Amino acid sequence: MERLKATGSSTALRRKLFPKGFAGGVMRLILETWQGFSLHRRVRLETRITALFRSALIDACDEAGRTWFIELEGPVTDPTLGTEIGRNESQVLPPEASWPDYLLHRRV
């Protein structure tokens, strides 16, 4: 069984989790969704814009028949101290089918 390292993962595990073409497909989805994205003019806070854009990405993902997970505001943790040092505005993850069993059990 492959293991994630504290600061990353092996090349083999990354390739298993993120198949060839995944990054390009994500970028294409983001760009195409952004082109058609619009906001009410009173929405000005970054967190609200990000939440609305995430909803638009999920809709676009569904329309495209993708089974990706799009998460909002995922924490970034210091690998030494275990403290939160920042947050990713959003994360796009491949379908669960490509995840090793031990990662599926850790998913919240």
Q: Taking the mean position of all CA atoms in its chain, how far away is CA 9?
A: 16
Whether 9 shows a pLDDT value over 70: the answer reads: no
Query: Residue 48 has which token pair?
Result: 């609200």
pTM attached to this predicted model:
0.69
Q: Which DSSP string corresponds to 36-70? A: T----TT---HHHHHHHHHHHHHHHHHHTT---EE
* Mean pLDDT of the region 31-45: 94
Q: Which residues, listed in sequence order, are joined to residue 69 by a DSSP beta bridge?
A: 93
> What pLDDT is attached to residue 107?
46
The confidence band for 102, taking pLDDT boundaries of 50, 70 and 90, is low
In what helix (H) or strand (E) does residue 71 lie, and over which residues does it extend? strand 69-77
Mean pLDDT over each residue of the chain, to the nearest integer: 81
